[in-house]
Structure 1
Amino acid sequence: MLEVYNDALVITGFIFVIMLVIEYVNILTCGKLQKAFSKSKLGQYVISAVFGLLPGCFGSFIVVSMYTHGIITLGALITVLVASVGDEAFAMIVLFPRDFIFISTILFIFGIILGMIIDLIFSKTKFDKVLQCEGFEFHTGKKCEVFLPGVIIPQWKKCSPHRGTLTIVLILFIIAVLFGEIMHETQSWVKISVVLLSLIASFIVSTVPDHFLEEHLWGHVVMKHIPKIFLWTLGALIFIHVMVSYFNPENIGTNSKWLLLSIAGVVGLIPSSGPHMIFVTLYSKGLIPLYILFVNSFVQDGHGAIPLLAYSRKRFLFVKILKFTIGIAVGAACIFMES
């Protein structure tokens, strides 16, 4: 259970760093980041799909954060969650690299096409209403100035509790990652990425004017979002931990393809990395066909969708049900074609 709490802290910490950087860049550019993405939906789909291809949940967290800030569409969110296979990507690369490239390519293309279709269908409905949280705004004129060298030292001489708290938290987070207190089983490139983003976040916290820090970083990101994200993430991980302890997918048989298909889809619904590894293992041993692994890979998205729970349970369920339905349909078609 301590590991679950640790995972919740890591996910929340990473999401906090991403949100802080997104908030800073959007204000720094006076909303140009948001406008740039809104100009090209195709660009959104392609970028989201590329982030989804990154092994682990790193890319998914970034895109989910962008979605919750109204920067990308629902279709682009669908794209990244289709293209991503979570931490299982690392095992696939080692065990069967050629098949991994094939699966990733199909998911990449499928994700972009599905994202386009979703936006086309829901573009004029209330469900497609941009999920933009209150407090995320950009200003014009002088208020866009978030880096003023002349006020940095005076601000630190009169350091506010909020600036001091955020700086200490970020430093402790970086130290914990570097010394393996957290993320000790994570790939090196992911650790490096997290540390670099955290260093950027530390620079932001250290240099932004008091107004930006108090109103945007503390009042909006920390007070409005972080507690909700942590509690939902912790609750989801505890539920998954309890559920997996009672259901061991390793006990499934490999004789009935319909049973395998159903279990691959149901296990794919679990918003976690770990349970899906059994399908990677079974395929590497030649015990299940490729399409069963594909269905599980299509339905699942690792931890990537968990932060979405804190913002919209309706959209979280929509994404899961959509992917499950399509995944099962694809698997069923493969079984019929095979027989």
Structure 2
Amino acid sequence: MDVNMKNSPISAQNDAEESRHWLINKRFCLPIALVILLWLPSSREVTLQVLADAYFQVAVFVYVSLALYYMVTLRIAPERIKRFMHERPIFEVGVAAMLGALPGCGGAIIVVTQYTKGVSSFGAVVAVLTSTMGDAAFLLLTQSPVDGLTVMLIGVVIGTLTGWVVNRLHNYQPALTSQNQQPGFADETCHKGSVFHNKISSISTHFWTLVWLPSLILAVLMAFQVDVAALLNIKPSSLALIGASLALSCAILWSLTSSGAAYCEIMSEEKVNPPVHWYKKAALDTQFVLAWVVVAFLCFELALLWLELDLVSVFNSLGGWVVAMAVVIGFVPGCGPQIVVTTLYLNGALPFSAQLGNAISNDGDALFPAIALAPKAALLATLYSAIPAFVVGYGYYLLFEI
């Protein structure tokens, strides 16, 4: 019986499909590029340092903040939030804006899903997409808490005001279809897990369970300018090699946790099948953030190394156009490009006005279910959120940066 099942056409088709996914997994581009850069003598030192910095300066703190955040938020049933918004429509837009301001995309996805079922108003969708900055919020909060909290507060205020105005002028409601009423539709089109991918997800969880505490101790000591290499009686290059090895391991695990065939499997965080455990969600999302931070760091450093470009000077030379550039990047669905913008801001390459404009215009992963279930509404909401993004971004630029 088992032999027959193995040789069945369905099994053969599944094997062929799995093999095809291996060949078209675009996530493999990152670890392959890292191996090549480490192999080339001209880029080896820079790549090692980038990987070590991305791990010790970003990934460790992101994992701890994600773990604490998910421990709390995953205990709050989404149904309670949905019921509260449904029973108190007068607070709906403000609550939606606050949900969007929460780091990550969970709150925004709740509001968008409710809208596609005909429960939430269109203004609530605009509010949540205006206030959210997705996983980039974790990066900004861990690296620059004051800036992160400032962006979140501004996002809530602007999102609430924009949502109220939209509800007054154009509370667009699409006709409900059977597709709209399938809550899992959008997620399933972007994430098709397999037994192998689930095993890699488990390995990622165990990996972070083992390394987070010693890594955090080292990262905190480094943040306080302690000579960790001397403390451990090793060479600084050996410490960098440890960090780079751990970062490369994360990049490889990230590339293997999904088929990497669909656009949203590269640009968005992993979907975790219920029941959702905080430690698994924290591990997978940390790897996603780390992957995009490494991409941003490498673009920054390799541009300086190979092209002799000072990106800070390049972006400064653009003047006010840099704000428009950041806002337009915010239109790209998913959190990956937005993490790049935030990384460039933290490295001093972009002004705060550009970070602010991008935070308001970017919709994170919440745009994926909106596009799948209500494409016209998704387009309208993106266009409406662009208006406050340009106004606030350029307002800050003209008032404080010229």
TM-score band, normalised by the shorter chain?
0.5 to 0.7
Specify the alignment match of 1:133 in structure 2: 177
Q: 82, 91, 101: which one pairs with 1:43?
A: 91
Q: 294, 298, 301: which one pairs with 2:356?
A: 294
Measure how far apart 1:194 and its partner are: 4.0
Specify the alignment match of 2:130 in structure 1: 82
Measure how far apart 1:118 and its partner are: 0.9
Number of residues paired by the alignment? 229
Measure how far apart 1:94 and its partner are: 1.5
Specify the alignment match of 1:258 in structure 2: 320
Q: 1:262 to 1:179 in 2, by over 3 A?
A: same
1:110 counterpart = 2:133: no
Measure how far apart 1:106 and its partner are: 0.9
Query: What's the Cα RMSD here?
Result: 3.9
Specify the alignment match of 2:105 in structure 1: 57
Q: 1:104 to 1:292 in 2, by over 3 A?
A: same
Measure how far apart 1:294 and its partner are: 0.3
Q: 314, 325, 328: which one pairs with 2:376?
A: 314
Kept after mapping to 1: 8 A contact 2:82/2:114: no
Specify the alignment match of 1:277 in structure 2: 339
Measure how far apart 1:303 and its partner are: 1.9
- What do the CA deviations read for 1:3-38 (whole angstroms, capped 9, x no partner)? 569xxxxxxxxxxxxxxxxxxx99xxxxx9988644
SS at match of 1:254: helix
Kept after mapping to 2: 8 A contact 1:69/1:131: no
Q: Distance in 1 between matches of 2:160 and 2:373?
A: 23
1:71 counterpart = 2:127: no
Q: Distance in 1 between matches of 2:356 and 2:96?
A: 20
Q: Unpaired segments of 5 or more residues in structure 1?
A: 6-24, 27-31, 138-168, 184-189, 200-244
Kept after mapping to 2: 8 A contact 1:52/1:60: yes
Measure how far apart 1:290 and its partner are: 1.5
User: TM-score normalised to the size of structure 2?
Assistant: 0.48
Specify the alignment match of 2:147 in structure 1: 99
Q: Distance in 1 between matches of 2:26 and 2:112?
A: 24
Q: Distance in 1 between matches of 2:82 and 2:387?
A: 32
Does 272-281 or 91-100 show the bigger shift?
Answer: 272-281
Measure how far apart 1:56 and its partner are: 2.0
Kept after mapping to 1: 8 A contact 2:354/2:393: yes
Q: Unpaired segments of 5 or more residues in structure 2?
A: 1-23, 29-77, 182-192, 205-255, 259-268, 278-298, 304-309
Aligned residue type for 1:2: N
SS at match of 1:276: helix
Aligned residue type for 1:301: D
Measure how far apart 1:175 and its partner are: 6.1
- What do the CA deviations read for 1:268-305 (whole angstroms, capped 9, x no partner)? 11112222233322322334331211001110122221
Q: Distance in 1 between matches of 2:81 and 2:106?
A: 20
Specify the alignment match of 1:330 in structure 2: 392
Q: 1:50 to 1:332 in 2, by over 3 A?
A: closer
Q: Distance in 2 between matches of 1:272 and 1:135?
A: 22
Q: Distance in 1 between matches of 2:120 and 2:141?
A: 29
Measure how far apart 1:172 and its partner are: 8.9
* Structure 2 counterparts to residues 21-36 of structure 1, below 5 A: none
User: TM-score normalised to the size of structure 1?
Assistant: 0.56
Measure how far apart 1:117 and its partner are: 1.3
- What do the CA deviations read for 1:146-188 (whole angstroms, capped 9, x no partner)? xxxxxxxxxxxxxxxxxxxxxxx899987664444637xxxxx
Kept after mapping to 2: 8 A contact 1:268/1:276: yes
SS at match of 2:317: coil
Measure how far apart 1:131 and its partner are: 5.1
Q: Distance in 2 between matches of 1:111 and 1:3?
A: 34
Q: Distance in 1 between matches of 2:353 and 2:395?
A: 10
Q: Distance in 1 between matches of 2:353 and 2:175?
A: 34
Q: Distance in 2 between matches of 1:173 and 1:50?
A: 33
Does 100-109 or 56-65 show the bigger shift?
Answer: 56-65
Specify the alignment match of 1:182 in structure 2: 257
Kept after mapping to 2: 8 A contact 1:73/1:130: no
SS at match of 1:275: helix
Kept after mapping to 2: 8 A contact 1:68/1:311: yes
Q: 1:258 to 1:102 in 2, by over 3 A?
A: same
Specify the alignment match of 1:303 in structure 2: 365
Aligned residue type for 1:276: Q
Kept after mapping to 2: 8 A contact 1:51/1:80: yes
Measure how far apart 1:195 and its partner are: 5.1
Q: Distance in 2 between matches of 1:35 and 1:274?
A: 31
Aligned residue type for 1:326: P
Q: Distance in 1 between matches of 2:385 and 2:324?
A: 13
Q: 1:3 to 1:328 in 2, by over 3 A?
A: same
Does 34-43 or 303-312 show the bigger shift?
Answer: 34-43
Measure how far apart 1:119 and its partner are: 0.8
Measure how far apart 1:89 and its partner are: 1.2
Kept after mapping to 1: 8 A contact 2:133/2:359: yes
Aligned residue type for 1:133: T
Q: Distance in 2 between matches of 1:254 and 1:297?
A: 19
Q: Distance in 1 between matches of 2:322 and 2:97?
A: 27
- What do the CA deviations read for 1:67-94 (whole angstroms, capped 9, x no partner)? 1111211111111111211111121111
